[in-house]
Amino acid sequence: MDWPTAWQAAVPVYGLAAILRAIFPLLSAPVWVIFVIYAYKILDGARMAEDPWRGRGSPRPYLLVAAATLFVHLATYATILSGGSSGGASTASVTGVLALAATLLFLIASAPPGIRERRVALRMAGVAAVAGAAVAPAFTFGALPTEGFVAFLAYMGQIVLAAASFGALLLAGRRHSGATVVARKVPRA
């Protein structure tokens, strides 16, 4: 799978995982595993390009941080559901924000040429994802009520912001009149 195709295939997987995470975090666990597989396909596809990161470092550290924080987020959330301590709630809510931020940083940093230049859409995706993920810590630390109409609006807002983040990434990845061109390495004889 080439770099642009892998990136565009990872975006819907991210969108589904982010929306499922906003609904109920443990539902998203298998989808996050699929996302990590696609993320490695992005890195493998980019390895074939001439200068994939244009003077920047590889986005691999963002992927490693995202995978680690996703694991901690989902594990602490599972512990809470099985009767764990209330301290796990703060860990689960904070690591959820960190995991989505690292995932978005990976997607933005690993975007192929042509998509990378659509900075406004990529930034909108990042802001929407982090704002949506910040709702859980707001509930946990008492900034938002946990019951009533305001809580319902905040919960629905979290889902809408996850969908908006996905939509902004789709907008950024929308192919323009020509296909995304990536210079390929040529084996030397």
Tens digit of each residue's pLDDT (9 = 90 or more) over 32-49: 999 999 999 999 888 887
The C-alpha torsion from 96 through 102 and 103 to 108, rounded to 10°, is 150
How far, in Å, CA of 50 to CA of 61, rounded?
Answer: 20
Query: Which structural domain, as residue segments, surrounds residue 64?
Result: 3-173
pTM (2 d.p.)? 0.84
pLDDT of residue 175: 61
For residue 49, list its beta bridge partners. Answer: 184
In a domain, 42, yes or no: yes
In a domain, 185, yes or no: no
For residue 111 the two structure tokens come to: 């975007």
Number of domains into which the chain is organized: 1
In this structure, what DSSP letter does residue 178 have?
A: S
In a domain, 189, yes or no: no
Measured CA distances, 95 to 47, 66, 72, 137, 182 (Å): 30, 10, 7, 9, 34
In a domain, 149, yes or no: yes
| Residue 186 confidence (pLDDT) above 80 | no
Phi/psi of residue 11, each to 5°?
A: -65, -50
Tens digit of each residue's pLDDT (9 = 90 or more) over 39-88: 999 998 888 877 677 767 789 999 999 999 999 999 988 888 887 666 77
In a domain, 28, yes or no: yes
In a domain, 188, yes or no: no
Rg (CA), the chain: 18
